[in-house]
Structure 1
């Protein structure tokens, strides 16, 4: 299968290195308006470098394109690719508003091409294990969850991140990882309340999700942290607690409530999943879905719903009020 990349920044490099190590996949073109970036990626991978999608389309033949551009350009190039029959692997967020997201999904459907969105947290082994623990009832009924995702401000290297109209800020670009994970693991969201403070190099957000099943999750995201990038999750249920912390060598810990046969203490059972790049797993999964027509772990509707919750959080920040969501099946349509 022949693939191409448009956008040769950080995520473009991540996708490219996954492709070049993948059997039966050939990276044939990389494109960026900053030709130096395209040339650098070309040197790393052996793919031809281009300055425009149109030139790459005219001079190469490919089946799939990775859209690893700044978020505000996702719609434009997803539509361009779909209209010429190319499958699309688009980085998250799918778009920066629901109208654009819906147009992207519909365009891909109408042109008979697949659309995949890079919600990569679903491919991190420790997050997969957390969802499995919930699905298997190990935690009982989920009650309260906490998550944080913090790091330096990416605008220091890519100034467009400072522009809310181009990046969506820390909620749309960073917190959306945890928004998607909790919807996947816990269920549909009923209402959202958000706080967000943006000053110079600081973009801090705290968002509370109330789920249809009564669970509550408090999500924290922060750009401007002076330490290393880090994530942490704690999910408490009626039967136990599960924790994950990227700063600990054993990234996942499950604390089970004692049964009658236990010695009345909580037992922490560390689990250290072997490392395999979640991006490699994600992109290989997307390529396999194209090959065999199977449904992806992350559907376009999943990406739309994550964006819908994100937009509700931003609306709550704007109004200072909780924002309700309707339980829906696809693209905001009410279920009967």
Structure 2
């Protein structure tokens, strides 16, 4: 299977590294507006480099394109790739508005190509294990959940992250990871309430999700945090709690109530070293080969954008936003 990558920023390079090590996959070409930058990377991997996306898409041998450009460019490039007959892996968020996300999905359907949205948190072993344990009822019905995702300064060349017109801001770019994870784990959401504090160098928000099950999740996120990257999640059920933090030496800690004399039973799991992006991309490409349903669908990508957009609307109005049950 011949695959190309559009966009050679930090995420594009991550994709290039993963695809170059994947059995049964040929990394065929890359594209970036900065042709000299793309050519340096292409020389390292022995592949073709383009400054024109149209020229790359004209290559009939390329079957799949990975879209790893800034978020505000996703719609334009996904629609172009769909019309060129390419299957598509698009970085999250799928788009910056539900309307654009719907149009992208429609274009892919009309052109008979598959669209996969890279919500990579579903492929992190600890998060996948939390989802599995919740589904198995290990801690019982979940009533409360918390998540925190604090990212530092985007760095030189990636300042667009701090411009909400280009990235969607902290909710659409950072907290959307936990929005998708919570919906995947706890089901559909009935209402959203959010608060935001933004300066020239920092974008912070808190988002409260109320689920149709009655559960409530509080999500916290930051772009421009002065601390090191933090990713934490905890869920509380009738029978116990599950916690994970990237700062722990263990991958996952589950604490149950069933111990003797009421003492907690603690289950700790050691870290598993995987490239989560490799796992994600390998899964999507396998779905293209086999026709199997993906772990995360284009519809899931649309729903995450809808919920993030509702949070942004809540900030604008100062009121909770109800979500449709359709």
**TM-score category, normalised to shorter length:** over 0.9
Task: Name which of 279, 286, 289 aligns with 2:287.
Answer: 289
Q: Does 2:80 match 1:80?
A: yes
Task: Name which of 291, 315, 318 aligns with 1:317.
Answer: 315
Q: Displacement of 1:273 after TM fit?
A: 3.9
CA contact (8 A) 1:28 1:60 kept: no
Q: Secondary structure of the equivalent of 1:192?
A: strand
Mapped partners of 2:23, 2:296: distance in 1: 22
Q: Displacement of 1:264 after TM fit?
A: 1.4
Q: Secondary structure of the equivalent of 1:263?
A: helix
Q: Displacement of 1:59 after TM fit?
A: 5.1
Which of 181-190 and 270-279 deviates more? 270-279
1:253-292 to 2 correspondences below 5 Å? 253-258=253-258, 262-292=260-290
Q: Does 2:49 match 1:49?
A: yes
Q: Displacement of 1:46 after TM fit?
A: 1.6
1:24-103 to 2 correspondences below 5 Å? 24-58=24-58, 61-103=61-103
Q: Displacement of 1:162 after TM fit?
A: 2.3
Deviations 1:180-207 (A, max 9, x none): 0000001100100000111011100100
Mapped partners of 1:315, 1:155: distance in 2: 28
Q: Secondary structure of the equivalent of 1:310?
A: helix
Q: Displacement of 1:155 after TM fit?
A: 5.7
Tell me the TM-score normalized by structure 2: 0.97
Structure 1: gaps of 5 or more residues: 328-333
Tell me the TM-score normalized by structure 1: 0.95
CA contact (8 A) 1:205 1:221 kept: yes
Q: Does 2:226 match 1:226?
A: yes
Mapped partners of 1:290, 1:149: distance in 2: 31
Which of 262-271 and 125-134 deviates more? 262-271
Q: Secondary structure of the equivalent of 1:140?
A: coil
Query: What is the aligned residue count?
Result: 326
Which of 82-91 and 218-227 deviates more? 218-227
Mapped partners of 2:30, 2:203: distance in 1: 32
